[in-house]
Amino acid sequence: MDKIIKTIAEELNVKEKQVESAIKLIDEGNTIPFIARYRKEVTGGLSDEILRDLGERLNYLRNLETRKEEVVKSIDEQGKLTDEILQAVAIAKTLAEVEDIYRPYKQKKKTRATVAKAKGLEPLAEIIIEQKETKPIEEISIEYINIDKLNEEDKKNKDKVVANAEEAIQGALDIIAENISDDPKYRKEIKRLCYREASIVTKSAKEEKSNYEMYAEFQELIKHIPSHRILAINRGEKEEFLKVKIEKPEEKILQFIEKDIIKGETQFTQMLKETILDSFKRLIEPSIDREIRSDLTEKAEEKAIKVFGQNSKQLLLGAPIKGKTVMGFDPAYRTGCKIAVIDETGKLLDYTTVYPTEPQNDIENAKKELLKLIEKDKIDMIAIGNGTASRESEMFVSDMIKETKRDVHYVIVSEAGASVYSASKLATEEYPDINVSIRGAISIARRLQDPLAELVKIDPKAIGVGQYQQKEKKKKLAESLTGVVEDSVNKVGVDVNTATPSLLSYVSGINNTIAKNIVKYRDENGKLKNRKELLKVPKLGKVAFEQCAGFLRIFDGDNPLEITAVHPESYDATEKLLNQLGFNKEDLRNKEKLEELKQKLKTIDIEKTAKEIGIGEMTLTDIIAELSKPGRDPREDMPKPILRSDVLKLEDLKEGMILTGTVRNVIDFGAFVDIGIKHDGLVHISELSDKFVKNPSDVVSVGDIVKVKVIKIDKERQKVGLSMKC
């Protein structure tokens, strides 16, 4: 265990004591959000991101240790365990290294070498590899001809017959070739050389045009190729547009093996050179290719999952638009645009379908109907989905709102996953009598009002930000995104009296069953008045209560502290602090008193006060932050959506124009920005800043409002190049 702690501490650049404490807390069943928020003193303030990486590495390294034990046991049972093998297994850092050590001891299927061994040719292979015998090998091999010693039945079986000297020598060389292939020393060095000098080479497999034109004649060093290119090449190969191979430093590889095996010029030199080449080409190269491709893909997928996670977190933490009545506008052509009106609490007021787009083009009737709804329901904003027919719908909406007396703006909202939600069991439970197509418009309106509360209802994979995320390992992607949603939900906090089961189920310590039980309890007993009442909810015991209590908010309840993230375990310390400053918890409800309190909190000596009230300095810092802004939503600091009232077309753009846009997606090679035209423009990584940018996520995040300059317009491909160097 000490070794695992040391490894993780070095990898994450944190102290061993922090890792040890975090592992203990994880093993005790504490959730990552709970540890990150309420056990800062114990872990030295490790963030939720670091704790999730720590948990992932802990799992991998524990699996690695388990596999090492299995391999040692298996080799020992074969009576072949040596100190050298034990040492090699002990220092192995990856599962791949352990499998390379185990390779010679695995039960093999039938191979040329296993057949040769069954014919008794191992001693001949030993003679050849030792290269000491001066007697011609052809004479020695005669001793291994067995055809005259076999019965008639066995003579018919090729796998048992050694008919002549040539067959004996070939069988012995097959054994040597397999032994070379199985030697972990050679595999390790070959992989090292490949990762340093090999290139990935692609060629076009078809003459027809495709999205993979840049890879038609392409070559790049493995050590330099970025993850998005690996994933693109994989897709091109899978769709049969590309042929892919790894070009290796073959001469160096062969020289390395020859230097280790060949002992001067003997009668065996040439045959060993040919055997080394055979071993490399027939046995080593195909499996090394598979391993390298698999390794590159795994690393690329991990990067893509990380990018997807970062983007999803920004999307989930998008600023809510509170206190507004919103019209959700789900665009379409033939089937019509679905409309749903949602009041400021998220309740459905009205819904309809209009046909302002092709083929009907019934613009006048659509305008008439929607203007009537705008006046009747006092609509403040229109949320337009960004899918099919979005820009045509935007043009229609921008014209229509010019005719209303109300101050109405529209916003383009990502509709990724809206159709997934519409057809889900959850949507059916929420709106059993509403048509599936209308539910999409409800979702679009609600995600403008509260992105987090709405997006948690959708499978995170369907949110639609990232690079090639649908192709990644589903289990790993699901785990990563569940973690991202958990961290986001717990960072914001959840109103226990209004939250849906979907939202509650992501709160630390609460599973689907408990989430449903909370809602059921609420329905039967009315609003919860304090956090302690949670203990009356079936299946929500003391352990779950400890994990979830601080993340659940109770507005208008018995205790003003429960509109904050202060944990019940810190109530006494918090009240002591308030008393010291001449206040009490009820003052949190009084605006004037609250302003006085905020000023007093700024003057606190953290070190001294923490000792006086008996809590850690980090916990005290968090309590002060909560008392300074009781009930405040942390998402209020996020950029607000751009409100539009007019539309922009590709034809309106000119190079050099400066525009304001919203970052919709961040990928390895840059960021896509919505500037109000049909397709998002691309800010390439080289145009993100005047300084060198290694990772676009260091400069921009999903939801950021940015100023961009138009630097390239490709009207034929409907693509726009943008720059943030303006």
Which of 105, 136, 171 is the last residue in one of the domains?
Answer: 105
Is there a contact between 713 and 326 (Cβ–Cβ < 8 Å)?
A: no
Residue 574 reports pLDDT greater than 90: yes
- On whether residue 216 sits in a domain, the answer given is yes
| Residue 693 banded pLDDT, cuts 50, 70, 90 | confident
The string of pLDDT tens digits covering residues 35-55 is 999 999 999 999 999 999 999
- Is the pLDDT at 474 greater than 60? The verdict is yes
Whether 336 and 373 share a structural domain: yes
Pairwise CA distance, residues 252 & 428, whole Å: 64
Is residue 339 domain-shared with residue 407, that is, in the same domain? Answer: yes
Residue 19 lies in a domain: yes
Task: Determine what percent of the chain is predicted with pLDDT higher than 70.
Answer: 97
Asked whether the bond before 460 is cis by omega within 30 degrees of 0, the reply is: no
Task: Give the DSSP per-residue string, 455-505.
Answer: HTTS-GGGG--SSSGGGS-HHHHHHHHHHHHHHHHHHH-EETTT--HHHHT
State mean pLDDT over 687-701: 88
CA 642/CA 282 separation, integer angstroms: 60
pLDDT (mean) for 496-520: 93
Residue 708 has pLDDT above 80, yes or no: yes
Do residues 157 and 255 share a domain?
Answer: yes
User: Higher model confidence: residue 716 or residue 110?
Assistant: 110
Please tell me the least confidently modeled range out of 153-162, 414-423, 534-543. 153-162
- Residue 514's CATH number: 1.10.150.310
Q: Supply the pLDDT for residue 303.
A: 84
Lowest pLDDT segment from 150-159, 259-268, 377-386, 669-678: 150-159
pLDDT of residue 660: 82
321 lies in a domain? no
pTM score, whole prediction: 0.78
CATH code, domain carrying 81: 1.10.10.650
Domain count, the chain: 6
Q: Are residues 89 and 159 in the same domain?
A: no
In this predicted structure, the answer to whether residue 466 has a pLDDT above a threshold of 60 is no
DSSP characters for 533-545?
GGGGSTT--HHHH
Report, as an integer, the average pLDDT of 583-607. Answer: 90
Which among 649, 658, 674, 663 has a CA at the least distance from the CA of 704?
663
Taking residues 462-467, report their average pLDDT: 58
pLDDT of residue 282: 95
515 with 664, same domain: the answer is: no
Residue 47 is assigned to a structural domain of this protein: yes
Assess whether 612 and 663 both reside in one domain. Answer: no
Does a structural domain hold residue 334? yes
pLDDT above 80 for 640: no
Picking from 698, 666, 695, the residue whose alpha carbon sits closest to that of residue 683 is 666
Average pLDDT over residues 253-270: 94
705 assigned to some structural domain? yes
Q: For residue 467, what are the contacts with CB-CB under 8 A and spacing of at least 6?
A: 227, 228, 231, 304, 307, 308, 667, 668
Determine the average pLDDT of the residues in 504-510: 95
Listed range (281-290, 297-306, 547-556) with the worst mean pLDDT: 297-306
pLDDT tops 80 at residue 160:
no
Query: Residue 686: is its pLDDT beyond 80?
Result: yes
Query: In the prediction, which pLDDT does 472 show?
Result: 43
pLDDT at residue number 467: 47
Mean pLDDT over 123-140 rounds to 92
Residues 440 and 512 in one domain: no
Please tell me the distance from the alpha carbon of residue 565 to that of residue 471, in angstroms, as a whole number.
Answer: 38
CATH assignment of the domain containing 244:
1.10.3500.10
The parent domain of residue 131 ranges over 112-303
| pLDDT top residue among 155 and 318 | 318
Q: Same structural domain for residues 123 and 38?
A: no
Asked if the model's pLDDT at residue 469 lies above 50, the reply is: no
Structure tokens at 724: 């943030």
Residues 414 and 401 in one domain: yes
pLDDT mean over 369-398: 90
pLDDT at position 318: 84
Whether residue 690 contacts residue 680, with contact meaning beta carbons closer than 8 Å, is answered with no
645 located within any domain:
no
Of 56, 80, 105, which residue is a domain's last? 105
Indicate the residue among 57, 73, 105 that finishes a domain.
105
Output the DSSP codes for 199-210: EEEEEES-SS--
**Domain holding 336: CATH number?**
3.30.420.140
**Average pLDDT for 575-602:** 90
pLDDT bucket at 468, cuts 50 / 70 / 90? very low
The confidence score (pLDDT) of residue 146 equals 81
Contact predicate 297/354, CB 8 Å: no
Task: Establish if 486 belongs to a structural domain.
Answer: no
pLDDT at 478: 75
Verify that 398 and 435 share a domain, yes or no.
yes
Mean pLDDT of 322-333: 92
Mean pLDDT of the chain: 89
φ/ψ of residue 683, rounded to 5: -100, 105
The predicted-structure confidence for 90-116, as pLDDT tens digits, reads as follows: 999 999 899 999 998 888 788 999 988
162 and 245 share a domain?
Answer: yes
On whether both 551 and 571 belong to a single domain, the answer is no
**Chain centroid offset of residue 535 CA:** 35
